[in-house]
Amino acid sequence: MESTRSKWGWILASLFILVWSAFPIVWIVMLSFKDPSEIGNIKGFFPKQWTWENYSTVFSTDLFTAALINSIGISLIATFIGVVFATLVAYAIARLEFPGKKTILSFALAIAMFPVVSLVGPLFDLWRNVGLYDTWPGLIIPYISFALPLAIWTLSAFFREIPWEMEQAAQVDGATTWQAFRKVIVPLAAPGVFTAAILVFFFCWNDFVFGISLTSTNRARPVPAALAFFTGESFFQQPTTAICAAAVVVTVPVVAIVLLFQRRIVAGLTSGAVKG
């Protein structure tokens, strides 16, 4: 009897959390299919008249399309560079013994917890002086700086779980240290690398503070920052439904990545949780 109550309690709690988490997403999707005239005039959760007008408005706006290209390019470049460096650093931390190894990990964790807002002012002045303001590198550099610690922590925990003997066996067979790392260790660490890459990509894709502070035009402004300037089809139209459509478009890549690589994400995040 007690086990049945406990089971139903867990089911109800899970359903409550699911509804609580999914409701804002479903609400935004419903708003994206509503006619702009319905906002504030017609009450109801579901659209009275389903329309694709908001999506056509979004993709016909240069502000959004330019920002979408910026977000994709900047996020992919920052993710690639960050994961490559994080893989090398995490491997060295997991495999080599050298003074200050724990200090490096502690310093990386401190950087990850450092408030981003406190750096916006100095970066704004520095970037304007060196010519990086409103450019792709001006966003890629801070993205890498803040994404590296998270990737290093994720990958170092994964590398520690890989048996050292496998690398030694490859070297006995004639492989160099680099060949053993590239052909043996990296393939085994693929779930951790995927996890680190996805986490770094999410950080870059969702950033708003750097995007709104270090850009001023469509040259490098990413999507989260561009939505703050979105006015819809005209300056006299309430842009709520168009912004919701843009938010749905921005969310689709994230959801698709999670659904495609969910097993690798779980494997990478839990790699260092269990010893043995």
Domain harbouring 165, CATH code: 1.10.3720.10
Q: Is residue 39 assigned to a domain? A: no
- Alpha carbon 77 to chain centroid, angstroms: 13
List, in sequence order, the alpha helices (H) in 96-163. 101-113, 117-130, 136-161
- Per-residue pLDDT at 237: 61
Average pLDDT along the chain: 82
pLDDT tens digits for 111-165? 777 788 888 888 999 999 999 999 999 999 999 988 888 888 888 878 887 777 7
- Per-residue pLDDT at 199: 84
Q: Is residue 124 assigned to a domain? A: yes
Helix (H, G, I), strand (E, B) or coil at 42: coil
- Structure pTM? 0.82
- Least confident range of 83-92, 177-186, 263-272: 263-272
Q: Tell me how far apart the alpha carbons of residues 55 and 61 are, in angstroms, rounded to a whole number.
A: 10
120: domain range?
62-229
Please state the domain count of the chain: 1
pLDDT tens digits for 75-84? 999 999 999 9
Helix (H, G, I), strand (E, B) or coil at 270: coil
Q: Is residue 134 assigned to a domain? A: yes
Q: Any idea what DSSP says for residue 36?
A: G
Q: Any idea what DSSP says for residue 135?
A: S
**How far is residue 162 from each of residues 172, 185, 191, measured CA to CA in Å?**
17, 8, 12
Q: What mean pLDDT is predicted for residues 193-201?
A: 86
Q: Is residue 126 assigned to a domain? A: yes
The amino acid at 170: A
Structure tokens at 7: 């089971």
Higher pLDDT, 249 or 263: 249
- Per-residue pLDDT at 265: 65
- Per-residue pLDDT at 221: 92
pLDDT tens digits for 205-219? 988 999 999 998 889
Q: Is residue 204 assigned to a domain? A: yes
Structure tokens at 168: 């030694």
The dihedral over CA atoms of 34, 35, 40, 42, expressed in degrees to the nearest 10, equals -80
Q: Tell me how far apart the alpha carbons of residues 53 and 63 are, in angstroms, rounded to a whole number.
A: 17
The confidence band for 274, taking pLDDT boundaries of 50, 70 and 90, is: very low
Higher pLDDT, 138 or 101: 138
* Percent over 90 (pLDDT), the chain: 18
Q: Is residue 5 assigned to a domain? A: no
- Per-residue pLDDT at 235: 56
Higher pLDDT, 33 or 39: 33
Q: Is residue 133 assigned to a domain? A: yes
Q: Is residue 268 assigned to a domain? A: no
Using the predicted structure, report yes or no on whether residue 190 has a pLDDT greater than 90. Answer: no
Using the predicted structure, report yes or no on whether residue 222 has a pLDDT greater than 80. Answer: yes
The amino acid at 59: F
Q: What mean pLDDT is predicted for residues 56-73?
A: 88
Evaluated on CA atoms 188, 190, 193, 195, the torsion sign reads negative
Torsions phi, psi for 261 (to 5 deg)? -120, 25
Residues shown for the chain: 276
- Per-residue pLDDT at 232: 54
Q: Tell me how far apart the alpha carbons of residues 195 and 154 are, in angstroms, rounded to a whole number.
A: 8
Using the predicted structure, report yes or no on whether residue 106 has a pLDDT greater than 70. Answer: yes
- Per-residue pLDDT at 270: 59
